Structure 1
């Protein structure tokens, strides 16, 4: 029971519980490197959204950073880079996450698909993406998103929304839309990061909370497709 704003006592709706009904994951089904499973699970999530519509933004990835004082921050962004050298995302280097990573490159991230009872966790270090890769991606963005990268002083305080809209209008005048990928130049303060992973965990939901957690742990230098640099361990759910 809780009190409402008027002071009356109202019943709280009971917590809904359900048992997970996933396929699970077994060591015998895993390759020697995490990359093939990452590719397959991401592809499965995208196809599930196309077919069923119940996995909105299958590339949404929660990213956790910590500042120089150890204060953690987490947010959800879109994974717009995915190669064997690690998953990645793009941001303003002056944003909270950008400043955190300048002070402390340690990073963790997670892809989570509840309807599929699956998740992937990445732990490691953030490495800036090559400027050529960033430029190619930036030029593929819609015009409004490119202008927005200039207009938004990401994570900084703003007096009101009109200030942001005025900034957008000003940059639209500076960089008119001529329907060309180079209409809007890449800002010096904008770029991308990939995660150089030390661990990759595959979580598969099972009944009675007896989930499968299989973790690839790095043992040597190499990328996510190199089967010679990873060992696999099972962790308790």
Structure 2
């Protein structure tokens, strides 16, 4: 009987001990599982945060890349535009330079042509005047030349009264007079009186003759000349007629 009670007591005790052990093991397992789950959740949270951070960095990197690509495209477009503009400006400079050079060449050619034309015209005028003088000398007698000369001298003296002599320098000390065959006393007196009235001083008259003058008179005040010769009259009349014909 005692043996059975001992067995029962042992079994109860074992059952109790086993229950305690099982409870302890269960609690340990649960605690271990909860810890593992918590640690796993922590790791997942950390991984998620890391993933979020990485995603954010990737997003920023993509945005930065897109920005740099846009800047690179803008820079490339600007460089291409600048190159095209520079090329256009260079072409315009070349065209402008070529145009200016061509205009300069044309202008020089026109000036050269005009210079040659004036020289030819001048030579032709001189030849025409000399030819006219030759004809006059051939057809006019000495008497007729004398009469023509007196008329031209008298007309010159009349015109001299209305001539502005304010530009004649006060440094001029003498007057050179060139005529066909000199001046008579009356003409000399008139000349001296007119010059004194115009210049407010008396100037000596230095008279000389030139048989090629054809007639008329020339006054020289230093470098200034008043030409009343028939030769000059023919030249001036020829210029007027040329202008009328043009």
Choose between structure 1 and 2: higher helix proportion: 2
Q: Structure 1 length normalisation: TM-score?
A: 0.24
Q: Which has the higher strand share?
A: 1
TM-score calculated relative to the size of structure 2:
0.24
